[in-house]
C-alpha cells in the first residue's frame, strides 16, 4: 500500500517514517493535521485522495495519555485528552466513513487498561471507552459497503507514551503481567493492525485486545 503518514507536531518523525517506507521500495507522503479539527482533517483526506487516487485503509492511532487519580485530576488535562482521543477519533472516523472505498478498513486505537483498571488511568480509559463505542456503532452504520471497522486495544507496550514517567521497577512489574512475561513492542501491535487492514475481512465491529494475554 501507498502510505500517508499523518503528523500533528513532529514533522521530523513523520518524515523519518516516510523515508523508511520509500527506502524499502514503497510510496509515502507526510500530511499535517490536528485530528480534532474537522477542517484540517477534511483537507488531509482530500490531499491523500488527490495523491493516491483513493483511500482503502485508515488507521487512527493519535492519542494522548495524562495520568491522575480521579480525586486530583486537572480538568484542563481531562479536556485535552477528550479533544484528541474522543473528538479526534470521531472527526477522523467521520471522514473515513465518507471516503474509504469498498473493501476497505477503518482501524481505531483503544486500550486494554479499560479492563485492567489501573489506578490513575480513569480519565484516559474513559476516553478509550468512547472510542470503543464509536467503533462498534460505525461498523453497523457502514452496512452494505463492505468496509470493516475495528479497534485494537494494546496492553503494556514499550512506546514513548507508555514509558514516560515510569521508573524501572514499575516497568519491570508491568512486563510480568502477561503470561509471555514481557512488554509488547510496536511490531506486535503493527501485526494486529496489518491483519485487520488486510486479510481479516470477516472480523468486523470488534475490539481486539493485543496484550500477550494480560486479560
Query: So where are the chain's domains?
Result: 56-210
162: pLDDT strictly greater than 90: no
From CA 90, how far away is CA 60, in angstroms rounded?
10
Residue 188 cell numbers, joined = 506486535
pLDDT at residue number 166: 83
From CA 163, how far away is CA 111, in angstroms rounded?
15
What digits encode the pLDDT tens for the residues 115-139?
999 999 999 999 999 999 999 999 9
215: pLDDT strictly greater than 80: no
| Angle at alpha carbon of residue 214, lines to 88 and 207, rounded to 5° | 35
Residue 183 cell numbers, joined = 512488554
What digits encode the pLDDT tens for the residues 23-46?
999 999 999 999 999 999 999 999
Q: Is 209 tagged catalytic?
A: no
Pick 56-210's CATH classification: 3.40.50.720, 3.40.50.150, 3.40.50.300, 3.60.150.10.
Answer: 3.40.50.720
pLDDT at residue number 163: 81
More confident residue, 77 or 215: 77
- DSSP three-state, residue 113: helix
Catalytic residue among 7, 121, 124, 209: 124
104: pLDDT strictly greater than 90: yes
What backbone phi and psi angles, to 5 degrees, belong to 194? -60, -35
pTM of this prediction? 0.94
- What DSSP element (H or E) covers 169? helix 168-175
Amino acid at each position: 500500500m501507498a502510505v500517508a503518514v499523518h503528523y500533528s507536531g513532529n514533522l521530523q518523525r513523520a518524515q523519518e517514517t516516510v523515508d523508511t517506507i520509500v527506502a524499502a521500495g514503497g510510496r509515502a507522503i507526510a500530511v499535517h493535521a490536528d485530528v480534532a479539527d474537522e477542517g484540517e482533517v477534511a483537507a488531509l483526506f482530500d490531499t491523500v485522495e488527490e495523491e493516491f487516487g483513493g483511500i482503502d485503509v485508515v488507521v487512527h492511532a493519535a492519542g494522548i495519555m495524562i495520568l491522575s487519580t480521579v480525586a486530583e485530576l486537572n480538568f484542563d488535562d481531562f479536556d485535552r485528552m477528550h479533544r484528541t482521543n474522543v473528538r479526534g477519533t470521531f472527526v477522523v472516523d467521520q471522514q473515513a466513513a465518507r471516503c474509504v472505498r469498498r473493501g476497505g478498513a477503518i482501524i481505531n486505537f483503544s486500550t486494554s487498561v479499560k479492563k485492567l483498571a489501573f489506578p490513575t488511568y480513569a480519565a484516559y480509559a474513559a476516553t478509550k471507552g468512547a472510542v470503543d463505542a464509536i467503533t462498534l456503532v460505525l461498523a453497523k452504520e457502514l452496512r452494505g459497503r463492505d468496509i470493516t471497522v475495528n479497534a485494537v486495544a494494546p496492553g503494556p507496550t514499550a512506546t514513548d507514551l507508555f514509558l514516560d514517567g515510569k521508573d524501572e521497577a514499575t516497568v519491570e512489574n508491568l512486563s510480568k503481567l502477561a503470561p509471555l512475561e514481557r512488554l509488547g513492542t510496536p511490531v506486535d501491535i503493527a501485526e494486529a493492525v496489518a491483519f485487520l487492514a488486510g486479510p481479516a475481512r470477516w472480523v468486523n465491529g470488534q475490539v481486539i485486545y493485543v496484550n500477550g494475554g494480560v486479560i
